[in-house]
Chain A
Amino acid sequence: MLLHFKYSFLELLRNRPQMFWAFAFPLLVGTMFHLAFGRLDADELFSPVPVAVVLDAEHPACDGIRHMLDALSEPEDDPFLIVTYVSMEDAEALLSEKEVYGILHMAESRDPAKPPLCLTLSAEMSGDPLYQSILNAFVDQFNLTYAAIADIAQTDPAKLSAAMESLSAETAYLRPETLETSSMSQSASYFFSLIAMSCLFAATAGSEIAITNQANLSPLGARKCVSPVRRSAATLCELSALLLQECVVMTIALLYYRNVLSVDFGSRFGYVLLATLCGCLAGISLGYFVGSIGQFGRFQKNGILVAIIMTCSMLSGLMINTMRLYVEAFCPLLNRINPAALISDALYALAVYPSPDRYFKNIAGLLTISALFCLGGIALTRRKKYAGI
């Protein structure tokens, strides 16, 4: 048994192209993910909004507005705006070239009861990270305060001092709540799906083991069938050797992600390794099962595996990370039987949830799927006899 395991492992090590790609795929794609997602989380953070300002010196509110804008764009004081004072033509040019998110200008009406500040935005700012809406909220806040004071001054001047007092006494109604999660990095979810895909790629090698054990599908299978070694023992050794190889590859990839690429897996790295081990097992057993089905050849079986792996990976969120949530809303069963979704959800649960319940549910799902695939593969190949090949 041990001898067979040793030679199966050596055989895997000597398959250079397979070995190279098994290592290269997670490392190469992971590195590229890291480079590509460098600014994904940072881009959500608020930074000062570039805005063009067109002032009308004859407007009564001009000085007040200028003073306020200068205060809001002070570089030393956590600025809210980056202000450029220009003429209307230049402001429109800046807006059309998407150098600024909006134009702040004075209202044409000099009526003190009318809002003095106007905002012009571009209809083509599709890549705007909320800045146009934030600018609009800022202008609304200014105009509302201005209008409220003007309204009170006009209708009930006796209440003006109370209104001014209320204006100066700002109340912070909101208090942030502490989230119990250790990581909210959106980019990590892509790495979870990548790990799931890498685990499932072990299926191609698992399928190869099934094919090389069937006398009607490969010459090696024919030789193995006439040898005195028990087929179940030989297959078990080959599958175990493959599992060992995949575990080594994935452990190296995980260490690389955590230590070099700084992917946040949370604080329970041992559990991450366990999830990956179960993922590799699911991938290998999937390949073994598909490789054992029917009498069709390597091309067709590889085609089926590619279809399964790619579909599972896409549905687990490899290309669009929210895909798994949509699947959960429309067809939750799909997430329970998709090994890629189970692997990435297990890793996600470790990073986000303090309780390991969800993680263990996913692990149980992966082990069940692996057991079913292995049993299916064994049922399809056991006691097979060939009258002729």
Chain B
Amino acid sequence: MPVFNVFIKILRKHGSVTLLYLSIYVLLVVFFVMADENGGSAADMFQDKALALHITDEDQSSVSLALTDYLASIHDVSTQTVERGEILDGLYYRTLNYVLTIPDGFEASLLAHDAEGLLTFAALPGTSSELYVNRQISLYLDTLRRFLDCGYSLSESLERTGDALASLPDAETVSFCSANALSGGLLEPFFRYQPYILISVLICGLTPVLITLNGTRIRTRTACSPFPAGRHTLALLGGSLFYGLGLFLICMLLCFLFSPEGIRQPVVWQALLNSFVFLLFSAVLAVLVSLLITDSNVLNMVANSIGLVMSFLCGVFVPQSLLPDAVLRAGRFLPAYWYIHATDLLAGRGDEVYDAGSYWTCIGIQLLFAAALSVVTFAASCRRRKGS
């Protein structure tokens, strides 16, 4: 018990780091949902994806206003004057997808069959968003042009174009699986970012405690005390378990805070099981790091190196569907890959289709990773004891 008490005392000193990482975690989840308002969740009726457009209308004619209205019916259009820097920032960070400039005299040129190349646009060249908006602008202007060529007046052509576009049938949408709590909302990013947070929290929170208690001075003092070595190890194990389970309980609590109704869905419990298995691996990793690193000053760099490397290689911050094949092949040798794969299966993200067999394979592989790392940790521990 004295070792366990000391363990808790040192742990409390590092409580701020745990709280810090958990706060970063909650912020990331909330931010992700804010940033991803536009996409992700399944809907009964298909809606064209709304992009961020900026239109500078120097013409202010009936054609330019009608074109702006048409684009605004699909996209998020801004028309207020902005500085060039804001446009560059928006295009760089993809918060702005397309910038259209309608020059003065466009309507007159269109009526005079002299509108070729008059509209200027800025978008990332060759991207889907460029093609998508270009196609919509051409669709509108071609339709209008057709009615004008048939001899209708401008106002009549604009009205007919609007009617023709409005009368188009909606695309039919089919759903192949029932919606689950993990697709869309806060739970998907909540589970997605867990590998980075669990690794960072456990290495920055648990490892310094183990380094202190396994340090030469404390260990030698404990060795010459009447306290049995076995009970010392048991106390450390108990402390680590206490910390790990506490962390998992906090994660569960956050999960139910983010989605109170999610508790009724088996998919959320499956995701929690996935998290628990990854937490086991992370805890063993933290113990291994405590055996290999003796300087607690570099722990933050170690935690971030392991956490960021694993996160970026396995699809935590960048979806697996965007990772190159070579990276995915390398990622398979890391448990975070299987964690994310299982989360993608449960959420139906990207190209993943849920399959119970694949899910349990992911869980099994993570357990195997944890077991293999436990063996390595045990070997490192024995070697260190022999050395000392």
Contact = CB atoms under 8 A, between A and B. Distances in A.
The answer to whether A and B come from one shared complex is: yes
A134 interface: yes
B356 to A, nearest CB: 16
Interface stretch (B245-253, B264-272, B295-303): B295-303
Interface stretch (B145-153, B225-233, B358-366): B145-153
Contacts of B128: 44-46, 129-131, 134
Interface in B320-354: 321-324, 326-327, 330, 347-353
B380 interface: no
Contacts of A352: 88-89, 92
A186 B94 contact: yes
Contact of A121 (B27, B143, B171): B171
Q: How large is the interface on B (under 10, 10 to 19, 20 to 34, 35 or more residues)?
A: 35 or more
Nearest to A125: B42
A32 B20 contact: no
B312 A326 contact: no
B300 A309 contact: yes
Interface string B307-320: 01100110001110
Choose among B117, B122, B183, B298 the residue with the greatest number of A CB atoms under 10 Å from its CB.
Answer: B298
A307 B20 contact: yes
Interface in B9-60: 13-14, 16-17, 20-21, 24, 27-28, 31-32, 34-35, 39-44, 46, 48-49
A370 interface: no
Contacts, number: 314
Q: How large is the interface on A (under 10, 10 to 19, 20 to 34, 35 or more residues)?
A: 35 or more
Contacts of A181: 88, 92
A151 B160 CA distance: 11
A44 B42 contact: no
Interface in B160-198: 164-165, 167-169, 171-177, 183-184, 193, 196
Contact of A17 (B130, B293, B323): B293
Interface of A: 17-18, 21-22, 24-25, 28-29, 32-33, 35-40, 43-46, 92, 95-98, 102, 115, 118-124, 126-141, 143-145, 147-148, 151-152, 156, 159, 162-163, 165-167, 170-177, 179-181, 184, 186, 189, 197, 201, 204, 208, 298-300, 302-304, 306-307, 309-311, 314, 319-323, 325-326, 348, 352-353, 358
Contacts of B145: 166, 171
10 contacts: A21-B301, A122-B174, A124-B176, A127-B351, A130-B132, A171-B116, A181-B88, A298-B297, A306-B17, A325-B93
